[in-house]
Amino acid sequence: MLLSALAQAEQVGWQLFDKVQYAVKHYNFDTSFVVLKGSKVDTYRWLHGQTAGQEIEHLIPLDTSGVDILRRDALVYYLLTDRPAFVTRASHIPELPALLFEDKDTIRQLYNAVAGSSSVMSGRSAQLLRLTAKQGGRYHYWLWLDAQTGFPLRIDTLSDNQNALERWLVTHMQISPELPENLRALMAADLPQPADNSVAAAFNSSHQLTWLPEGYQPVAEPASIPQLEGSLLSYWLLSDGLHQVSVFVQNSQRLPTQAYRDGATTIYVQTNAQLEVTVIGPVSIDTARQLAAAVR
C-alpha cells in the first residue's frame, strides 16, 4: 500500500510538471518577473506567443545593464546596442529557467517529483511541486504553479541543506488567446542568420579535463564566446541534460584563487604560475574546485 501511494504521488507530481511545461510553451502571455539572489534583484518582462505554426518569445531586462533576447522558433538573438546581434540556435531562451523547457524524461532521471500543498500567491491559488534531486551535489527545486492555468508563479532553487539560493517570482501575468501585440512586428522583422559558432576544433588541443561530476558530459559543439575570443587556451561546456557548467583555461594573471556565489551560480577561479582556470555554473564550490584541479 505504501509503494502504491508513493507511485501515485509521483504520478501526480509529473502531471503537474507537464502542466507547467505546456503553459510556457503553448500559451500567449505577457508577464513580468524578478530574480532574487540575496540582496540583488533583477527585473524582467517576458512575452511569448504562437501563430501560424511559428513560436516567438522576447525577454526584456527592465534594468539598464541587461540585453534584450529574442527567440523565433530555433534561433535566439541577443540584440546588442553597440554591435550586430549575436545569434545562436536553441529551442528556448537559455536565460530562462531550464527546467521549464528541458525534456521530461531527462529531468526524471535526475529528480523525483512530489506534489505539495496549495496556497494563495499574488491573489491566485497556487499548487506546490517539489523536484528533489536523486543524487547529492545537485540543487533541489520548489515550484508554485497557478492552479487554473499551470503557469509558474515562483521557483525556488535550494541547496542540499534546503537553503534558498535563488528565487524566480512572477509579479504580473496576462494570458490571452491572441499573440501579444508587441510580438507581431518582431515576428515579421528581418533578422540575421547565425554564423558558424562551433569551437570544438579550436580548443581542447593542449589540455585535458580528467574528472567530471556524476551525470555530466562535455557538449560536443559549444557555442562561441565572442567576449573571450583570443584569450582562451581551452574551453569545455558540460551538461547533465538540465544544468550547464563552463570551464575556461587562460594564461595566468597571477591573481589569488577566488570563489564567488551569484545566487545558484558558482564562479570559481584557480590560478597558478602558468594557467588560470575558471569554472562557472550551478554547482557547489567544492565541485567547482575539483573541476579546476582536473585540468591537465
Q: What CATH superfamily classification does 2-188 receive?
A: Lipoprotein localisation LolA/LolB/LppX (2.50.20.10)
Q: What is the pLDDT of residues 187-236, one digit of tens each?
A: 988 888 776 544 444 454 689 999 999 989 998 877 666 666 677 899 99
Q: 217-293 — its CATH code?
A: 3.30.200.100
pTM as predicted: 0.88
Instruction: Give strand pairing partners of 119.
Output: 126
pLDDT of residue 199: 46
Alpha helices in the chain, H assignment, sequence order: 2-26, 104-110, 181-188, 285-293
Query: Which sequence spans correspond to the domains of the chain?
Result: 2-188, 217-293
Q: What is the pLDDT of residues 76-89, one digit of tens each?
A: 999 888 778 888 88
Whole-angstrom CA distances from 43 to 11, 97, 258 are 34, 14, 28
CB 263 within 8 A of CB 249: no
Burial classification of residue 208, based on how many CB atoms lie within 10 Å of its CB (0-12 exposed, 13-18 middle, 19 or more buried): exposed
